[in-house]
Chain A
Amino acid sequence: MTRQMTGAQIVVQALKDQGVDTVFGYPGGAVLPIYDEIFQQNEIRHIIVRHEQAATHAAEGYARSTGKPGVVLVTSGPGATNAVTGMTDALLDSIPMIVLTGQVPTFMIGNDAFQEADTIGITRPCTKHNWLVKDTNILAETIHQAFHVATTGRPGPVLVDIPKDVQFAMGDYTTKLKSKTSHYQPRIKGDIDSITKAVEMLEKAKRPIIYSGGGVINSGVGASQLLRELADATGAPITSTLMGLGAYPASGKNWLGMLGMHGTYEANMAMHDCDFMLCVGARFDDRITGRTDAFSPNSYKVHIDIDPSSINKIIHVDTPIIGDIGHVLEDMLKVWKSRGRKTNAAGIAKWQAKISEWKAVDCLKYQSSDTIIKPQYALQRLEVLTKGRDRYITTEVGQHQMWAAQYLTFEDPHRFMTSGGLGTMGYGTPASMGVQIAHPESLVVNVAGEASWLMNMQEMGTATQYNLQTKQFILNNERLGMVRQWQELLHGSRYSHSWSESLPDFVKLAEAFGAKGIRCSDPADLDDAIMEMLDHDGPVIFDCLVEKHENCYPMIPSGAAHNEMIMGDASTEGAITGKGGALV
């Protein structure tokens, strides 16, 4: 039986049908009928942000910390265009997100009406798929289909554009169960012959490594469990991308730390020297591979990915396995066990010894100071003082983000939210709000730089309105630290526009928003100040004044190979030469 209701009622009913409890949004002319329906119900909580971009990042934070899709509701025109950055961010980081946009009435489309934009055209390349709904009768089905597409296969953002007259008109409501099945059904189970081949190679490997990524986290908590079992049972050392941190615990015995441009020495050296690489849900991004023709030159490579277009895109692999990480790892473990749990124990023991040598280099060592707070020290203290707590970390983008990945530890998936692929400054503050809304009792810390943080600072208003406890931990070097670092290395230390001349007083700014502000500039006071932040019942802006010209190391310069890292105390003169200088 179909029920007749208005388009706006259909939107709210479809969201309820999909189990949505939270919507992040901002009202405007073209979505007023939907807001009117939201007003008249209590099942779905609407969070009013201060900028549509923040709604998308908050939804990303919500999605990444819960594993459920994030939902965004914004108006036409500027509402939709402001959401573009967040959708692109979610596309590159494979975050499930449903964006509902209002649109001018169907009869006005194409007339350059007030707040009209070609939302479908603008968002086509930054969504997995998008729909313009011109008929109220297919609205419910389209929304159900949108959830299916966003959450199936490689997750990503989708957008449903709903003209205002479609919201007012009456139409049939189709339930989730009654909706016709989509032909979009990505492959879940991996090919068993390929899995067996991968196991054979793993059994023989003298120098195996597991290189895991965000796909493990997207596949669900079970996938992380299986990954841990595989790494621990076979003794294979494991490294992870920025997106995959937490899938394998940082305290685990085989953990190498993050790999890539600012990865650890041991992880990158092991990637370079291994003879067997199992890539699990990662995509050989350029931050990971460095120079591709020198990438892990002597290894047999297995790549598990749910997206066939990730296979052989950048690095040619020997055995691709297309499927869901959880399913493939489960089959892989089954095959490995049924073949007698073989490993090349002698080879791996030597390999572990080699890795221990690399670890002894202590690549994250830095010059400590009694007089000024080193950013690495600030994060080490944050780590110590929050260890064991129910903790979620978000970050902005830049040096602080890399230091957070290096100096904070993650024991579980869904605990680290950061903009990896797109590198969106301004991500962390709204993302931390989204995480806090999903986990009201947990500690949520946004590790930020002052420049990134200012990009979405208006969201402190959201934090105080909903009494979100998020702690904004700003490593303030009065610089665009990563830009400055590159200018130092590549552009003769000509610091073109990479500093801020008139930063706000962050303590007063916090107070202006009705939050608490704390400033700390002396390493001796840092622990007390961090404790004060953690103990405060409400949002905090923590202005941590740190060393202004600290560089983030180790670093694989653009255009270099994994075994060509610059270390903290090495000379950086002439480090990036020739073509590498043109890379980002």
Chain B
Amino acid sequence: MNALALKKGASKKSAYDLKNPLGDEVETHTLSVIVDNESGVLARVIGLFSGRGYNIDSLTVAETDHEGHLSRVTIVTTGTPAVIEQIKAQLDRMVPIHSVSDLTVDGPSVERELAMIKVSGKGDKRVEAMRLADIFRANVVDTTLTSFVFEITGTPEKIDAFVELMRPLGLTDLARTGVAALPRGL
């Protein structure tokens, strides 16, 4: 029976240390999900992510087909390739979900986000903020003598860059919509 005896230190790994066969690099993917526009559908999607420990970097949702009662949810998520595959499979089997597409791998796509940024200040800082806003093609949607609210649209990276520039110039408030995305072409 010696051959059956347990080797010392045999328990380093288990099913709880899921080894990822496809690679351990964490990737960011943008998923576009068409759902029935019914009460609680967003809670289902979010509950799946929280319940199974997946990440949500950003999430946008709005009705896109009033007649068909459909909404588009755009989710930016990060995970290893195996986790991304699981997220897609788990979403796809949910009853109110019509389709799941991974814009990151399905071909070229366009991604845009809108942000509103409030900057308070006087003098040179105020002039500099205005000048940079011009470079980034941000619009002024509200102004007082000591503040601006800028509206900027672009990729999340562009918005990140603009926000970082505004911080030393008196950024006081920030609202971002999260990413909306569509595949390019037909």
Contacts and interface: CB of A to CB of B under 8 A. Distances in A.
A42 interface: no
Nearest to A577: B11
B13 A309 contact: no
Contacts of A565: 4, 6
A570 B11 contact: no
A389 interface: no
Contacts of A208: none
Contacts of B96: 129
A565 B93 CA distance: 36
A569 B4 CA distance: 10
Given A125-B47, A570-B4, A583-B16, A308 B92 contact: yes
A61 interface: no
Given A308-B92, A565-B4, A124 B44 contact: yes
B95 A560 contact: no
Interface string B13-45: 111111101100000000000000001100110
B87 to A, nearest CB: 9
B8 A316 contact: no
Interface residues of B, number: 36
B9 A577 contact: yes
A561 B10 contact: yes
Contact of A557 (B4, B6, B93): B6
A314 B6 CA distance: 24
Contacts of A443: none
Size category of the A interface is 35 or more
Interface stretch (A26-34, A291-299, A342-350): A291-299
A576 interface: yes
A184 B95 contact: yes
B173 interface: no
A361 B30 CA distance: 54
A132 B40 CA distance: 10
A583 B18 CA distance: 13
Interface of B: 1, 4-19, 21-22, 39-40, 43-44, 47, 51, 82, 85-86, 89-90, 92-96, 98
15 contacts: A120-B40, A149-B95, A286-B16, A290-B14, A290-B15, A291-B10, A291-B13, A312-B21, A558-B11, A564-B7, A570-B1, A574-B8, A578-B9, A583-B11, A583-B16
Given A184-B95, A309-B92, 12 more contacts: A121-B40, A128-B95, A293-B13, A309-B89, A313-B86, A314-B18, A557-B6, A560-B11, A570-B6, A574-B8, A579-B14, A583-B11
Interface of A: 120-121, 124-125, 128-129, 132, 149, 153-154, 182-184, 186, 265, 285-286, 289-294, 307-309, 311-314, 316, 361, 557-561, 564-567, 569-571, 574-581, 583
